[in-house]
Each structure stands twice: as C-alpha cells, then as structure tokens.
C-alpha cells in the first residue's frame, strides 16, 4: 500500500499537480473566446498561474486600429503588475490638447486633453488596437486560433465540449466568453442577447478619415442638442478618427447592415454645420466603419458550471461610461486570480469572482447615466437642452464645471475596488514597475 502511495506521489510531482507553490491547475485547459482586451488580459494571467489558455478569435487576425480608450484607477495597477505599463506609456495617443468649436468652426473654448477625456494625472489613453498588440506580445507563446468561432457548447461535470465553425471539436476544462457586447458564448449558454442588453438610447459611430484639418495630436469637439461630433489625430497616425454620437428614437434600421447604419448616421447629421459634411463624405471610403448602440449588459449571474463571462460579454458598462476597457482589464485579473486560488473548486472561484467585482461593475455602469442624460432624447432630456444653451452663453465655465464633475465621478468609480494580490499563485514572477 505504502509503495502505491509513493508511486502516486512521484507521478503527481512529475506532472506538477503536487507542487503547492504553482497551484494544482497546471494542466487545466481554458478556451477563451475573443482576443480583445478582456480575453488577452485573462490569457496573460492564466498563463502566469500555470493554466493552458487557448484563444479563439473570429477575426482572421488580431483586431488592430479602432478608437482611443482609457485605462484608469485600479486598472493601472493591473497593467503595472503585468509589466506592460512602460509599453502603454510609450504607445499612448499623446493627444496634447482639445477645443470645442461652434457651427462656424470658431473656437468656443479650449482645454487640456486630460480634462477633455475625463482623466486625472497618471491615467492613460491609447488606441484600442495598440493596447491589444501590447497585451498579445506580453502573453508570449500560447495557442491562438484566428478566423474561427464557437458554434456549440456542451458541458459535463468535468469538462466542456466545444464545436467550432472550422476546426475540429475539442474538450476544455473551462470556457470563457470574452467575446464582447454581442457575445456568442453568452448567447449559447445563457440565452438571447435581448434578456441582458440594455440600450441607452444613444448611437455611436467611429471611423478613419483623412487628416484634412492637419491636426497634430489634437482633438476638436462639436455639440448640438442630442448630437456630438469629434475628430482627433493621435501620435503616429497619419489619418484622423471621426466620432459621432446621437440620440434618435425609435431607431428602426437593420443594425447588421452597414449600408443602413451609414444612411442613419448621414440622416442624423444631415443639417449639422462645421466640418460635418466633409466627415460624412469620408464615411463610404473608411476602412473601419463602426456603428452600434451604446449599451450595457446586465446579468444575474456571470457563470454557469464551467463556463464564465468576462469584460463586455458579462457586464459591459458601455463606451459612454469611458470605463469599458478598465473594467475588462480588472475583471480578467480578478477572474484569473480567483480561478488560480480556487484550484479544484471552480464554482467557488466563480462565485468569488462575482462577489469581488459586482460593486465595482455597478459603480462603473452608473457612469453612463450622466453622459446619457446629457445626450438624451429631446422630449425627455431637459438636461441636454439646458446644457446646450448654457454652453452657448458661458462655454468655458460650463464645460469646465461639467468636465471636472465628470472626472471626479469617473475617478471615484475607477478606484472603487481594492485589488487582491494573487501573487502567491504565480509560477512566473511578474515584471511590474
Ligand atoms: C466607439 C467606442 C469608444 C470607446 N471608448 C472607450 C473609452 O474611451 N474608454 C474605455 O474604457 N472604453 C471605451 N470603449 C469600450 C471598450 O472598447 C470596451 O468596453 C472594451 O474593449 C471591452 O473589452 P472586451 O475584451 O470585453 O471586448 P472587445 O474589446 O469588444 O473584444 C471582443 C473580442 O471578441 C471578438 N469576438 C466577437 N465575437 C466573437 C466570436 N463569436 N468568437 C470569437 N471572437 C469573437 C472580437 O472580434 C473582439 O476581438 C469604447 C468602445 C467603443 C465601441
């Protein structure tokens, strides 16, 4: 009998299962659907803890390009612990200033880029695609399947069976939906999007335009009631990005058809002054036209058995909260840490993940309400009307008042979590600064 235990102990040691320092999860495989901010951050941490993550991304390659995003509050600590802070600092947009113009293009006010973006000192702004590239590089060698996606998921007590559109079916220990606002994993496992997605009454479009205003790391914004337009150029980009946000009710278009979406943006901004006609004219040629409703995801539970959601897929706060990226980064950090801690008891790990994060997610989802009210529908939002007219009378004071208020609120929500330290679960030392 003793001999049997000795052989078993040796076997466990050889496979790494008995190494308490490295946790018991060395061999566990995790399929992550989505190579976005949440998916890449999660893959990094799972690898540190000795899991074997595989990423499946529906896009044929890493999705680069896109819009500028912010990293704030406790998310800054996470990227520092990942060792990517210096690269993000180097790759940031470096936008140095901003101004708001009237319909004739005359400057109404100017401000710092940080005030414009709702940031405090130390917060970072980077293009979404640049951040994804930095994160992927930091992960190192893992299995990434590009150009494919999950079509079926079935779970048993000890594994998850997954079918793909192109690749052969496989079994994994866990599956994570990190596939964004319109998550397929959520749909397959938890039910139709309509149960969880809450539109905020605002529509957003972003795309690349030629830099015809010769902006040099600068942003220009233009407001009308229920309408917002901006254009900015960031460090190292020869082109510029145009962004549109508008409220229109009810929005009746096939949101999957790009041509319908483009018509809708054209219609919403057809009588708007400043440089808007030129920006609209560039829409058809844009290589990266993006359109969606600003929306949040609210779910009673983020996991079911061995399947769990992270980032926008589980709890999107919406782009107008300004915190989608930071929430995704922090969510991925907590999920990986709890899974490493929970070792053989994933149900407890997923419960801990939710308990740790719920309050933080709620605080950040609340942020979208303020922006929503300022941009809301004409019939409902007196705040929108008031803000526009006060802004025309006293632009600088009003904008500074509103922006400063916003910065304080965002900063509070961005820091509304004490990050746990899971470093005793690492198998590799982090390179934090
Ligand atoms: C216009 C705009 C402006 C924004 N501005 C800000 C900002 O200023 N600050 C901020 O913090 N946040 C901002 N956000 C929000 C931010 O981008 C998201 O909240 C954040 O990226 C969430 O990360 P994620 O990884 O959960 O999802 P995503 O970044 O959306 O990544 C999801 C990934 O999954 C992939 N995918 C989708 N479906 C499948 C599938 N079926 N199978 C496999 N892969 C799939 C996608 O291709 C993508 O790579 C903005 C968003 C938009 C759209």
Task: Encode the chain (433 residues) as per-residue pLDDT tens digits.
Answer: 444 444 444 444 444 443 444 444 447 999 999 999 999 999 999 999 999 999 999 999 998 878 999 999 999 999 999 999 999 999 999 898 888 888 888 877 788 888 888 787 888 999 999 999 999 999 999 999 999 999 999 999 999 999 999 999 999 999 999 999 999 999 999 999 999 999 998 899 999 999 999 999 999 999 888 889 999 999 988 999 999 999 876 566 666 689 999 999 999 999 899 999 999 999 999 999 999 999 999 999 999 999 999 999 999 999 999 999 999 999 999 999 999 998 689 999 999 999 999 999 999 999 998 776 666 554 555 555 555 665 555 556 667 777 788 889 999 999 999 999 998 877 643 333 3
How many angstroms separate the alpha carbon of residue 157 from the centre of ligand 1?
31
The answer to whether 375 and 249 have CB atoms below 8 angstroms apart is no
Q: What is the pLDDT of residue 383?
A: 56
Comparing CA positions, the residue from 284, 281, 231 lying closest to residue 259 is 284
Atom of ligand 1 nearest to the CA of 184: 41
371 lines ligand 1 (CB under 6 A): no
Q: What is the pLDDT of residue 8?
A: 44
Handedness of CA 238, 243, 231, 72 (dihedral sign): negative
**How many CA atoms lie less than 13 Å away from 101 in the CB half-sphere?**
16
Distance between CA atoms of residues 393 and 378, nearest Å: 20
Mutate to test the pocket of ligand 1, among 75, 291, 319 (most ligand atoms within 8 A of CB): 319
67 lines ligand 1 (CB under 6 A): yes
The highest-level CATH class for domain 24-425 is alpha beta
How many angstroms separate the alpha carbon of residue 180 from the centre of ligand 1?
5
How many angstroms separate the alpha carbon of residue 318 from the centre of ligand 1?
10
How many angstroms separate the alpha carbon of residue 158 from the centre of ligand 1?
30
Helix or strand (DSSP H, E) at 233: none
How many angstroms separate the alpha carbon of residue 394 from the centre of ligand 1?
36
DSSP state, residue 59: S
Distance between CA atoms of residues 343 and 28, nearest Å: 9
Domain residue limits, the chain:
24-425
Ligand 1 atom 35 nearest Cα = 34
Which residues neighbour 424 within 8 Å (Cβ) at sequence distance 6 or greater?
Answer: 21
Q: What is the pLDDT of residue 23?
A: 44
Distance between CA atoms of residues 11 and 403, nearest Å: 61
**CB 44: neighbour CB atoms within 10 A?**
25
The answer to whether 323 and 317 have CB atoms below 8 angstroms apart is yes
34 lines ligand 1 (CB under 6 A): yes
58 lines ligand 1 (CB under 6 A): yes
The answer to whether 422 and 337 have CB atoms below 8 angstroms apart is yes
Q: What is the pLDDT of residue 201?
A: 87
Q: What is the DSSP string of 107-159?
A: EEEEE-HHHHHT--TT-EEEEHHHHHHHHHHHH-S-EEEES--EEEEEE-SS-
Q: Measured at the alpha carbon of residue 181, what is the angle toward residues 348 and 144, in degrees to the nearest 5? A: 75
322 lines ligand 1 (CB under 6 A): yes
Q: 163: cis peptide before it, omega within 30°? A: no
At 215, give phi and psi (nearest 5°): -75, 135
* Angstrom distances, CA of residue 140 to CA of 44, 135, 423: 8, 9, 19
Atom of ligand 1 nearest to the CA of 150: 42
50 lines ligand 1 (CB under 6 A): no
């Amino acid at each position: 009998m003793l001999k049997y235990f000795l052989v078993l102990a040796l076997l466990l040691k050889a496979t790494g299962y008995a190494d308490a320092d490295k946790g018991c999860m060395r061999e566990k495989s995790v399929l992550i659907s989505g190579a976005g901010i949440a998916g890449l951050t999660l893959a990094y941490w799972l690898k540190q803890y000795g899991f074997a993550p595989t990423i499946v991304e529906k896009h044929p390659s890493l999705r680069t390009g896109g819009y500028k995003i912010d990293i704030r509050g406790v998310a800054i600590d996470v990227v520092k612990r990942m060792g990517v802070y210096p690269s993000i600092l180097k790759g940031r947009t470096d936008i140095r200033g901003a101004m708001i113009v009237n319909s004739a293009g005359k400057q109404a006010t100017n401000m710092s880029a940080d005030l414009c973006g709702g940031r405090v000192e130390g917060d970072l702004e980077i293009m979404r695609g640049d951040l994804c590239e930095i994160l992927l590089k930091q992960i190192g060698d893992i299995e990434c399947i590009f150009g494919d996606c999950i079509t079926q998921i079935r779970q048993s007590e000890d594994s998850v069976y997954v079918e793909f559109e192109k690749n052969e079916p496989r079994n994994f220990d866990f599956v994570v939906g990190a596939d964004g606002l319109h998550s397929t994993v959520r749909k397959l496992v938890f039910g139709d999007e309509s149960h969880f997605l809450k539109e905020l009454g605002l529509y957003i479009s972003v795309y690349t335009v030629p830099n015809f205003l010769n902006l040099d790391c600068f942003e220009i914004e233009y407001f009308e009631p229920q309408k917002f337009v901006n254009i900015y150029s960031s460090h190292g980009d020869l082109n510029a990005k145009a962004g549109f946000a508008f409220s229109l009710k009810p929005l009746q278009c096939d949101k999957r058809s790009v041509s319908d979406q483009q018509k809708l943006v054209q219609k919403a901004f057809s009588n708007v002054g400043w440089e808007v006609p030129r920006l609209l004219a560039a829409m058809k040629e844009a290589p990266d036209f993006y359109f969606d409703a600003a929306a949040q995801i609210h779910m009673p539970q983020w996991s079911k058995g061995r399947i769990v959601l992270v980032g926008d897929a589980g709890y999107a706060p919406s782009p107008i909260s300004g915190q989608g990226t930071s929430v995704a980064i922090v969510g991925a950090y907590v999920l990986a840490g709890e899974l490493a801690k929970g070792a053989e008891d994933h149900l407890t790990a997923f419960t801990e993940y939710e308990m740790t994060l719920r309050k933080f997610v709620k605080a950040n989802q609340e942020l979208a309400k303020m922006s929503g009210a300022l941009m809301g529908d004409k019939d409902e939002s007196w705040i929108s009307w008031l803000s526009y007219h006060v802004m025309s009378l006293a632009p600088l004071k009003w904008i500074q008042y509103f922006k400063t208020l916003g910065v304080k609120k965002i900063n509070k929500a961005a820091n509304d979590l004490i990050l746990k330290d899971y470093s005793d679960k690492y198998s590799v030392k982090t390179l934090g600064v």
